[in-house]
Amino acid sequence: MRPSRPARALGAAVLATLGLLLAACGGGGDPLAQAPQAPSASDTVRIGSANFTENRLLAEIYATALSIRGVKVERQFGIGSRETYFPGLRDGSIDLIPDYTGNLLQYLDPQATATAPADVYTQVEQKLPPSLKVLQPSAAEDKDAVVVTRAFATQNNLRSIADLSRLCPTTTFGGPPEFQTRTYGIPGIQKAYGCTFKEFRALDSGGPLTVAALRDNTIQAADLFTTDTSIPNNDFVILEDPKSNFAAQQVVPLINGAKLANPAVADVLNKISQKLDTATLTDLNRRLDGPDKPDPAQVARDWLSSAGIG
């Protein structure tokens, strides 16, 4: 039954009050409605993260390692998208974020065309505001990739997207709807490799629909992310991208330059980058996705210890 007008008004008032309380607490309200946050103390590094599991884990790895070295840290994880957290880096309310070089470059310069790791990193350095710095990038990448089943790769002797190009007229490709129009998606593959697929099926972004369709041969190739645990879990094969259609997406510490006055900060973060690669990051994601749902802080501590950093 539809509520009466007074009940609806009361409900709206309650919801409005709850919204204000959530915003005041840093909860899930509109980030633009939240009060500006004061910068952290000069001897403290305030670490933020985007709002997805992998990025939170990377932020926890940074925070735990810095704490072990005696650096005071504050955690402010799950901030949201780059559009939300980057202004916080600029105004000093956030000091450190684990970011990804290719997407960061596209945010800084939507017209950028660099794709190779060194070129992307150099352009990021050039286009950042003077107050912000990127430290050593890791070998770990979380980026789009063309993925096929092991059986399909073996049957057709496929190692790269270039090898796939001869099969494109008979191959159905699946992925998120936006992949059909994005410059690095179907148009990019067609431009770089001369590949026109038989059909594109709009499915989901690295989700169960795409994985299931690839597994049952409804599609023969798919767009998945390189650290997606479904790839090793299903023994899928990531095809190499020799023409760098997909821009490098190296995990990199993005930091307020003022916090580098303490030399331990750069030292610790660079050691993490030296030890972190895509296989390691995929394995860490798989641990977090396991049935026992371990505490991310414990996963971070375990990895730091195994890497000789903790």
Looking at residue 188, which CATH number applies to its domain? 3.40.190.120
208 token code pair: 């169960």
Is the domain of 123 the same as that of 168?
Answer: no
19 in a domain, yes or no? no
Residues 224-242: tens digit of each pLDDT: 999 999 999 999 999 999 9
Domain boundary among 190, 209, 238: 238
**Contact between residue 171 and residue 197 where contact means Cβ atoms under 8 Å apart:** yes
Q: How many other C-beta atoms can be found within 10 angstroms of the C-beta atom of residue 21?
A: 11
The per-residue pLDDT for 280 is 95
**Contact between residue 279 and residue 251 where contact means Cβ atoms under 8 Å apart:** no
Please tell me the distance from the alpha carbon of residue 51 to that of residue 57, in angstroms, as a whole number: 10
User: What is the share, in percent, of the chain residues with pLDDT greater than 90?
Assistant: 78
The per-residue pLDDT for 292 is 80
Is the domain of 45 the same as that of 137?
Answer: yes
Please tell me the distance from the alpha carbon of residue 118 to that of residue 114, in angstroms, as a whole number: 9
| 268: nearest Cα among 97, 107, 65, 108 | 65
**Contact between residue 281 and residue 54 where contact means Cβ atoms under 8 Å apart:** yes
Decide if pLDDT at 27 tops 60.
Answer: no
Is the domain of 172 the same as that of 228?
Answer: yes
87 in a domain, yes or no? yes
Residues 247-261: tens digit of each pLDDT: 999 999 999 999 999
Q: How many domains does the chain have?
A: 2
Q: Residue 227: give the domain boundaries.
A: 144-238
36 in a domain, yes or no? yes
Domain boundary among 181, 215, 238: 238
30 token code pair: 């509109």
**Contact between residue 222 and residue 174 where contact means Cβ atoms under 8 Å apart:** yes
Domain boundary among 238, 268, 295: 238
More reliable by pLDDT, 281 or 8 = 281
pTM confidence score: 0.78
Is the domain of 101 the same as that of 231?
Answer: no
27 in a domain, yes or no? no
Please tell me the distance from the alpha carbon of residue 102 to that of residue 221, in angstroms, as a whole number: 23
Please tell me the distance from the alpha carbon of residue 132 to that of residue 147, in angstroms, as a whole number: 35
Residues 63-110: tens digit of each pLDDT: 999 999 999 999 999 998 899 999 999 999 999 999 999 999 989 998
